[in-house]
């Protein structure tokens, strides 16, 4: 369940009023920036399908790197 902030005032231009130890602070919610997460194309997986560790990448390594990681370390490439 989400709780509604009783101090939120939509008429104040998206500002939230907080009362902390008798002082009133104002936060301008319009100055917050959003963080864009990277798009992952795949990753190396160590383990089986049930229990595994996977390290994701934003670019796909070439076939030689993927093959050597599988042969030397046992890490298999998985496309997302």
Q: What are phi and psi of 19, to 5 degrees?
A: -110, 110
Q: Looking at the whole model, is its pTM more than 0.75? A: no
User: Any idea which of 11-25, 34-48, 54-68 has the lowest mean pLDDT?
Assistant: 11-25
Residue 75 is predicted with a pLDDT of 92
Give the span between the Cα atoms of 63 and 10, in whole angstroms: 54
> For residues 62 and 72, what is the distance between their CA atoms, to the nearest angstrom?
16
CB count within 10 Å of CB 75 equals 19
- Residue 16: per-residue pLDDT: 54
- For residue range 43-61, list pLDDT tens digits in order: 999 988 889 999 999 999 9
pLDDT at 62: 96
pLDDT at 7 over 70: no
Torsion of CA 19, 22, 24, 25, to 10 degrees: -70
């Amino acid at each position: 369940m989400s709780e509604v902030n009783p101090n939120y005032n939509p008429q104040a231009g998206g500002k939230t009023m907080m009362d902390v130890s008798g002082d009133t602070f104002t936060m301008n919610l319009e100055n917050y920036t959003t963080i864009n997460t990277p798009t992952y194309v795949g990753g190396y997986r160590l383990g089986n399908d049930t229990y595994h560790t996977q390290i994701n990448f934003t670019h796909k390594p070439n076939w030689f790197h993927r093959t050597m990681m599988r042969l030397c370390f046992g890490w298999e490439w998985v496309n997302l």
